[in-house]
Amino acid sequence: MIKKLAKAAVFLAFLGGLVFWWVTRLQHLDPVALTAAPVGDSVKGEIVFWQAGCASCHAVPKSEGEERLKLAGGLVLKSPFGDFHAPNISMDQKDGIGSWDFATFANAMQRGVSPDGEHYYPAFPYASYARMTLADVSDLYAFMKTLPAVAGVQPDHDLPFPFNIRRSLGGWKFLFFKPDPVVEIAGGSDQVKRGQYLVEGPGHCGECHTPRNLIGGPKLGQWLAGATNPEGKGIVPNITGGEGGVGKWSEGELASLLKDGITPDFDSVGGSMTAVIANWSHVSDQDRAAVAAYLKAIPEHPNGYPVQAKVQ
């Protein structure tokens, strides 16, 4: 009997291992689709670059103007799971991504897999970038090819066990990697649809503005409802029309904020939103208006962060 039980235990452990192996495996983009992707246009790619906010984390912190195109990394992104160090994604052949072909780049951006066959941490917002068109990714690739090479390697992420086991990120992806559109907007105009693409895809607004569960999965039922600040004290605001959110703002005021960072009550936004404004000031008026139209069209939620955050 005990022998039988032991055999069953071994079998179950083996089965469990198989399931773990299967669940946490790497999943790549369809190679046929990748070959069929249009050759990128670097001029359009620059706009995608600003929409996607690459410079927010990968430019040298506090750099301005042209310096924001030097993607040597260095920003430390604090999180409840540990400290992430944004890597060098400049065109340096050795320290950056200068040697990457398009397939490698697209698989990193849209499936969170590295050229060495490892999972990336979702601090790199590939779960949002997965919603981008391959054409936009191709344009972005073409633009990034025009950027300077900067030497220098950033330190490894500083994460405690068990978050330092990359293989387990396959489990995170299994649970939370959902490249489908987040919200359904019945009868949404073309403008709203464009805004949906920008917010849910390249803009990756939900990465900070949507609350997360204990293992870092976004609570999609509270999409853009605001969250506790993952980087420390305070909150990230609710940008839905619900209580505590931006319901009283006009579309024009929302679009204007994305250009100059000024709120309707004449405040100037701060924190990591400062870098977002620096990016989005390069984006077209139409696209900023589309984001505003989408934010006005999505389901309204009350604040996605606990009230205690207020008196901390």
| Site for other proteins, rule CB under 8 A | 226, 229, 232-238, 244, 260-262, 265-272, 274-275, 277, 303, 305, 307, 309-312
Considering the complex, state which of residue 4 and residue 233 has its C-beta at the smaller distance from other proteins: 233
CB of 154 to other proteins, least distance (A): 21
In the bound complex, what is the minimum distance in angstroms from residue 62's beta carbon to other proteins? Answer: 9
State residue 268 phi and psi, 5-degree precision: -115, 125
In the complex with other proteins, the residue whose CB is nearer, 93 or 250, is 250
Report the nearest approach of other proteins to the CB of residue 312 (Å). Answer: 8
Minimum CB separation of residue 282 from other proteins in Å reads 15
Q: Which is nearer to other proteins, 160 or 232 (CB)?
A: 232
- Of 67 and 156, nearer to other proteins (C-beta) is 67
| Nearest distance from C-beta of residue 90 to other proteins, angstroms | 23
CB of 295 to other proteins, least distance (A): 17
Q: Are 227 and 234 in contact (CB under 8 A)?
A: no
C-alpha triplet 59, 62, 66: angle, nearest 5°? 55
The per-residue DSSP string of 37-57 comes to SPPP-HHHHHHHHHHHTHHHH
Could you tell me the maximum CA-CA distance found in the chain, to the nearest angstrom?
A: 76
Q: Which is nearer to other proteins, 299 or 302 (CB)?
A: 302
Q: Which is nearer to other proteins, 198 or 236 (CB)?
A: 236
For other proteins, the closer of residues 41 and 231 by Cβ is 231
Dihedral of the CA atoms 219, 182, 109, 287 (nearest 10)? -120
Quote the least distance from Cβ 221 to other proteins, whole Å: 19
